[in-house]
Structure 1
Amino acid sequence: MMFLWRYFLFPGLNSRIETQKEEIVFFFFEPNSFSERHGCSDSPGLPLWRALSDTLPITTNLLIRRVDVDPTCPKCADCHENVFHALVLCTYSQLVWHELNLPTVPAGGGSFSVWLTFIFMNFSEGDIRLAVAALYYSWRARNSAVWDGFLPLPRRIKQSAKAALQAWTAVHHTQAAVADHTGAQADSEQHQNMSPKCYFDAGFMPNTLKSSFGAVLLSPDGAFMAACGGTLSDCFSPLMAEAEACRITLTWLRGKGLDSVALFSDCSQLCSYLSQECSIRSHAGFAIHACKALRATFHSCVVTFIPRSDNALAHTLATSAFSQTSTVYSDSVPPNSISALLH
């Protein structure tokens, strides 16, 4: 059906319609697509291509096939029924389109294909989706009038179309979000595998507010590259100490000329704040804001939460830093406190 939609029914439409709108038609009118996604037996099976090619079983088409039916429109009983009348021009259909604030007659002429082209070319994607859903429920209302002698109120068509659109949007956006998350996760893992790895941690003494930090830089294959550790200014909370440790570590890494790095921390709260756009109104918030600004200067700087057991190098370095009077930097040769942990 999609081949017919793109190349047979609208061969002259530009790429904007082909690329942006075809998925709308697919999700609402592709046979069984809606029912498979929503677990219902009643699929919106109105094939839009049948309406565009004038092969819907309306009264005039049935008469052409020598089916003995009354050609009068079953909804308004004002004139003979054709596709354009059934879905657009009928008094009942006009009330539906009035509820949706969409035009009933295009400026370019009087046919269903011209009307639909006008809608696709001049209205937003949200309005187009709503119109396509309303076409299906308008057709269901027409069949209800034929077989059950019952015609729902036009606002009911609007409500049903919006409900279907919301259900489709929920499924479609969930799938897109999962795909985006999977892609982002794959990119994150790729950067971590190709970039140097830096483990950092903070030490905090609540009684004295004394704080320290430790950071260990490893190559992508795990070989030691550099380390630093020292005391921090007094901090008022463990989170503030972790944020200050992150800030100093990022400054140290930037000074070493690194453009891409994978950061690892055992502070889940810090990792969460670094991934959010919200501002934090606290002493720790200033340091976290500085960390975000420093991260933005890197081409790639992924921050990953790890358990304390996987952060033994940085934790040991931060603990031993309490006895130091100044920050100690180690290049090539690891500090004695963590040398045993590297083997």
Structure 2
Amino acid sequence: MPQAVVRMIHSMVAGWRNRFDATGQEGAVLPLHIRRPGVLQCFVDASLFPRTGRVGFGGILLSPEGQFWAACNGPLCCVQDPLVAEALACREVLLWLRRRGVREVELYSDCLSVVQLLCQEVSPDFPSYFGGIIDGCRAVLDEFDFISINFVRRSFNKFAHVLARGCDTHFIVWDIAPPSFLLPLMDQ
């Protein structure tokens, strides 16, 4: 079997595993972490657009009380691979947080594989494109004074998901107010 087909199969299996836990229930449940008081929360997600071949990401930064702080979204230059897209989305949002001067943050992603890889004590040896992305994320993580990487079920990542689905052809940041397409969700 050609290597490209093998990689595609592994990626599809990983995507399925991210969507369903061992019991077949959507959104695997992990133990709750202890929140650090006064720390910003950032939710990140990626989105694939198979018809156009585009990939996008979204990130939303919330105050410790859960109020809108800032948001961003934009395109990603990568293959239509959910795992690669989620890892790149994390990297882009981490870089955005760093540029904003955020030093302490709780990062939430609905991609369990990426969360697990970023939380490992020792960086796994992935001599691949994907491994380079994970290594890039880990390098940015080291620049924060405090950061926790957390898995969140998809149903709790709706703001970042809508931001990723609403991405355009360039990077956009909202600092004062959320984008209008997020307002209906925020009113719920």
Same fold (TM over 0.5): yes
The 1-side partners of 2:78 and 2:143 are apart by: 27
Matching residue of 2:39: 195
Larger RCO of the pair (alpha carbons < 8 Å, separation 6+): 2
Deviation at 1:272, TM superposition (A): 0.9
The 1-side partners of 2:67 and 2:35 are apart by: 18
Q: Does 1:336 align with 2:180?
A: yes
State the AA in 2 paired with 1:197. Q
Q: Does 1:301 align with 2:178?
A: no
Q: C-alpha offsets along residues 199-218 of structure 1, whole Å, 9 cap, x if unaligned?
A: 01001235654210000000
The 1-side partners of 2:51 and 2:183 are apart by: 30
What are the residue-to-residue correspondences of 1:97-108 with 2, within 5 Å?
none
The 2-side partners of 1:238 and 1:209 are apart by: 12
> Percent identical across equivalent pairs?
37
Matching residue of 2:19: none
Which stretches in structure 1 are left out of the alignment for 5+ residues? Answer: 1-184
The answer to whether the 8 Å contact 2:115/2:150 transfers is yes
SS of equivalent residue, structure 2 residue 157:
helix
Deviation at 1:238, TM superposition (A): 0.8
Q: How many residues align?
A: 155
The 2-side partners of 1:338 and 1:275 are apart by: 30
Q: Does 1:249 align with 2:93?
A: yes
SS of equivalent residue, structure 2 residue 101:
coil
SS of equivalent residue, structure 1 residue 189:
coil
The answer to whether the 8 Å contact 2:78/2:84 transfers is no
Q: C-alpha offsets along residues 83-121 of structure 1, whole Å, 9 cap, x if unaligned?
A: xxxxxxxxxxxxxxxxxxxxxxxxxxxxxxxxxxxxxxx
The answer to whether the 8 Å contact 2:84/2:130 transfers is yes
Selected match of 1:268 from 63, 88, 112: 112
Selected match of 2:135 from 289, 292, 317: 289
Which stretches in structure 2 are left out of the alignment for 5+ residues? Answer: 1-30
The answer to whether the 8 Å contact 2:48/2:80 transfers is no
State the AA in 2 paired with 1:337. F
Matching residue of 2:65: 221
Deviation at 1:194, TM superposition (A): 2.5
What are the residue-to-residue correspondences of 1:1-343 with 2, within 5 Å?
189-191=34-36, 193-206=37-50, 209-276=53-120, 277=122, 278-321=124-167, 324-343=168-187
Q: Choose 1 or 2 for highest CA Rg.
A: 1
Alpha-carbon RMSD across the aligned residues, in angstroms, is 1.8
